[in-house]
Chain A
């Protein structure tokens, strides 16, 4: 399915060993979690719990961002992740606010040197988003898709914690 959506690698929270024919990046919430042969990224959903091991800060609800905390806690190593799935349930007006917050986060990540990450947040194949659709979303948010993919690839390549064991 992911191949047909032109997606090279998937970020997953768990996997079955028989799914090894595809590039997976494990999203783990604590260091001790077993991760096998796949590269891993430490994910946190709480701004206050960010530490030196955190790779990604996932913002589940864009309407409830604590901007001052966010500015204090982020560092150039970190990726700020936004789920598109969280926008699905919003009304038109709230979705417009979601877009404006996403643009704010993108600009903040640019100015602070961290990485903005737009994720599908998919929990089923129906929620998966193709590369072409990602590019449309980025364009509508005023983000140049080529620059975004390039920055994201460089950021992923630069992560020390993406170690395979």
Chain B
């Protein structure tokens, strides 16, 4: 049997600066578990990544759980917005750079 690596999606999340990355991840995990359960949170394989932009948090998840993750972000107590998404980290970071140029222009 062939083992295929599951596809991932990387999200750039805009958040208010009074939170740390660890807190954001904990809040996302907590709300996700509350809504979709412990099994789903394990299979979603959430992983956080650094971002050079202040106020932007990068979160990776399994493609199959993308809808649930986006829903979770939309209904978090602490408001935050998923502003960009990509299938690779490199492309997401490039997209963020373009977005940053666009916002500063």
Q: Give the dominant DSSP class at A's interface.
A: helix
Tell me whether B67 and A126 are in contact (CB under 8 A). no
Contact of A124 among B75, B79, B99, B103 (CB under 8 A): B79
Q: Which residues of B contact A137 (CB under 8 A)?
A: 70-71, 74
Asked if A129 contacts B75 (CB within 8 A), the reply is no
Determine whether A88 belongs to the interface, using a CB cutoff of 8 Å to chain B.
yes
For B24-59 the 0/1 string (1 means CB < 8 A from A) is: 000000010011000000000000000000000000
Report the minimal beta-carbon distance from A5 to chain B, rounded to whole angstroms: 7
Within the complex, which residue of B14, B73, B75, B99 is in contact with A125, where a contact is CB–CB below 8 Å?
B14
Name B66's closest neighbour in chain A (CB-CB). Answer: A136
Which size class do A's interface residues fall under?
A: 20 to 34
Interface residues of B in 57-105 (CB under 8 A from A): 66-68, 70-71, 73-77, 79-85, 99, 102-103
Q: Which 10 A-B pairs have the closest CB atoms?
A: A92-B34, A136-B70, A126-B79, A136-B67, A127-B79, A133-B70, A87-B75, A140-B71, A128-B81, A133-B74
| A binding-site residues for B, Cβ under 8 Å | 1, 3-5, 84-85, 87-92, 95-96, 124-130, 132-133, 136-137, 139-140
